[in-house]
Amino acid sequence: MWIDGEEVESPSGEQMPVLDPATEEPVDSVPKGTRDDARRAIDAAEDAFERGKWSDPYDSRERGRILARFVELVRNQEDSLSVLLTREHGKVLSESVSEIRSLENTFEYYAGFGGKIFGSITYTRYGKDPLELKVARKPIGVCASIVPFNFPISLFAWKVAPALIAGNCVVVKPASTTPLTEIMMVRLLAKAGVPKGVINLVTGPGGTIGEELVTNRKVAKVAFTGSTETGKRILQLASNSIKKVTLELGGSDPAIVMGSADIESAASALFTGRFRNTGQACNAVKRVFVEKSVGEKLTARLSQLIAEVRLGPGLDRSSTMGPLNSAEQLRIVESMVEDAKARKAKVLAGGSRPVNIKKGFFYQPTLLTDVNDDARILNEECFGPALPVVEVEDLGEAIEKANMTRYGLGASIWTKDEGERRRAENETKAGMLFVNYRPFSTPEAPFGGVKDSGLGRELGFEGLNEYLETVSIRTYMG
Ligand code: NAD
């Protein structure tokens, strides 16, 4: 763990193993932190915020320089960091490289805000009295970053980069199965010049470390990414003290494919959108609604693309898809496909664990059609490589079915028709819409969902704002 500028063990002496999902063998172990460890990290962050120089408004450009130096350090170690990420997560090496690069992009973007966090001044009269109204934007204090397992490095960056450039101090809590690369990132932040106490990291179970971060009165903001169930619990717990909370939660993103679409490019985008990261992406394409006239053409092309997948360990450069991250994820995905099969879904590809791979949490990329409306895979979030394709009569039916779940993270539409595009913009209930393009994230665009998919936004200017307090100063000028 990393507390107050030092690498430390937990006084509990207990360790948690981190497994390689491709071999089920341990890669390493990390301390099983306790509530006391979390409190020590929070106290260190509070001390650095109150007494250190990091939050000094005059030093915002210096903060930017330090974050830019961190990006250079990461760039120089891309290869070893990517290997470590693949070993603890399972994703194939090329996906780890792009994830490390996405961290670089996010830090580079927010480093650019150094010296550019503006307030405003305006003048008015209150009755006859002249007044100056100043609006200042200030850091908020100790920020907790609770990170899930699926993109541990990208999502670390989405939280830590805006928090730091705004002048806050941070305590990170990685997911239990993927803490190792995040620990390396915290070391590199310190090496780049982030002062002691400003960045801290505590490993351990969500139920203890996470809950201490959420309930501790010294924590001013909780940024959580994870499942909707945990998000709901966090919102309840955080209400003990009033603090800012952003929640980036689950999704069951629909993709609508209309008859006018370019089916070849739609199929390849849906394939990447569903199967990258072995299906473990919040904004993955999780349900497809296709106009009947082009249904067969689309599923035929998707089947071809799936047939080309080479399932295997992420470190093996010939693999194009790795294992799921844990035995638990494997079990959940398998049970959802079995449920759809029991309800008479047709399996066009996959549909089971691979028979030729004996170890690791592997599941075959799976394509399902004729899926019953009540099947779990059309109603719950499927966090793995299985895609249900449902034929619909028209756009109206597609939108109705797309909006059917409790989630509202992203949605996408493939069409060449301007009217259909506009109707999807107006009627899909989601925080993000992708038009003729696969779901992706970029630092410039705010990311987040509506309904049970979350609260608040990460990335973009909106994401930075979540780490700033707006203060208004009203001065009598008579
Ligand atoms: P999870 O909810 O199990 O865990 C997320 C993090 O919360 C982990 O660090 C965990 O240790 C911690 N945690 C667990 N219980 C806690 C508690 N009681 N109090 C505080 N912290 C606690 O989620 P996961 O399985 O790691 O991640 C997958 C989920 O994340 C999926 O639902 C996915 O859609 C979602 N996700 C959402 C986004 C988004 O931007 N909307 C992005 C990525 C992942």
Pocket of ligand 1 from Cβ distances under 6 Å: 146-151, 155, 173, 175-176, 206-207, 210-211, 214, 225-227, 230, 233-234, 248-251, 282, 381, 383, 409, 447, 449, 453-454
Which residues are known catalytic residues? 248, 282
Nearest C-alpha neighbor of 288 from the set 185, 392, 202, 173 = 392
449 CA distance to ligand 1 middle (Å):
15
269 CA distance to ligand 1 middle (Å):
26
- The residue whose C-alpha atom lies closest to atom 37 belonging to ligand 1 is 249
**In this predicted structure, what is the pLDDT of residue 17?**
98
431 CA distance to ligand 1 middle (Å):
19
Reported pTM = 0.97
Q: Is 348 helix (H, G, I), strand (E, B) or coil?
A: strand
pLDDT values of the chain reduced to their tens digit, one per residue, 478 residues: 999 999 999 999 999 999 999 999 999 999 999 999 999 999 999 999 999 999 999 999 999 999 999 999 999 999 999 999 999 999 999 999 999 999 999 999 999 999 999 999 999 999 999 999 999 999 999 999 999 999 999 999 999 999 999 999 999 999 999 999 999 999 999 999 999 999 999 999 999 999 999 999 999 999 999 999 999 999 999 998 999 999 999 999 999 999 999 999 999 999 999 999 999 999 999 999 999 999 999 999 999 999 999 999 999 999 999 999 999 999 999 999 999 999 999 999 999 999 999 999 999 999 999 999 999 999 999 999 999 999 999 999 999 999 999 999 999 999 999 999 999 999 999 999 999 999 999 999 999 999 999 999 999 999 999 999 999 999 999 9
Strand duo 244-248 + 219-225: pairing: parallel
Is the CB of residue 334 less than 8 Å from the CB of residue 363?
Answer: yes
- The residue whose C-alpha atom lies closest to atom 14 belonging to ligand 1 is 206
**In this predicted structure, what is the pLDDT of residue 73?**
98
Q: Which atom of ligand 1 is nearest to the CA of 226?
A: 30
Is the CB of residue 118 less than 8 Å from the CB of residue 135?
Answer: no
**In this predicted structure, what is the pLDDT of residue 321?**
98
Mutate to test the pocket of ligand 1, among 146, 237, 381 (most ligand atoms within 8 A of CB): 146
**In this predicted structure, what is the pLDDT of residue 43?**
98
Backbone angles phi, psi at 367, to 5 degrees: -125, 125
Torsion of CA 159, 217, 66, 158, to 10 degrees: 0
**In this predicted structure, what is the pLDDT of residue 26?**
98
> How crowded is residue 339: how many other Cβ atoms within 10 Å of its Cβ?
16
Mutate to test the pocket of ligand 1, among 227, 235, 274, 280 (most ligand atoms within 8 A of CB): 227
- Long-range own/partner contacts, residues 125-131 (CB < 8 A, 24 or more apart): 129/476, 129/478, 130/476, 130/477, 130/478, 131/474, 131/475, 131/476, 131/477
Nearest C-alpha neighbor of 345 from the set 289, 285, 405, 388 = 388
**In this predicted structure, what is the pLDDT of residue 377?**
98
Tokens coding 282: 């919040």
231 CA distance to ligand 1 middle (Å):
7
- The residue whose C-alpha atom lies closest to atom 13 belonging to ligand 1 is 206
Q: Which pLDDT tens digit goes with each residue over 103-114?
A: 999 999 999 999
- The residue whose C-alpha atom lies closest to atom 15 belonging to ligand 1 is 206
Torsion of CA 389, 395, 399, 402, to 10 degrees: 10
25 CA distance to ligand 1 middle (Å):
24
**In this predicted structure, what is the pLDDT of residue 86?**
98
**In this predicted structure, what is the pLDDT of residue 475?**
98
Of all residues in the chain, the percent with pLDDT exceeding 90 is 99
Angle between helix axes 78-89 and 60-76 (nearest 10 degrees) is 80
Q: Which atom of ligand 1 is nearest to the CA of 234?
A: 19
**In this predicted structure, what is the pLDDT of residue 95?**
98
- The residue whose C-alpha atom lies closest to atom 28 belonging to ligand 1 is 226
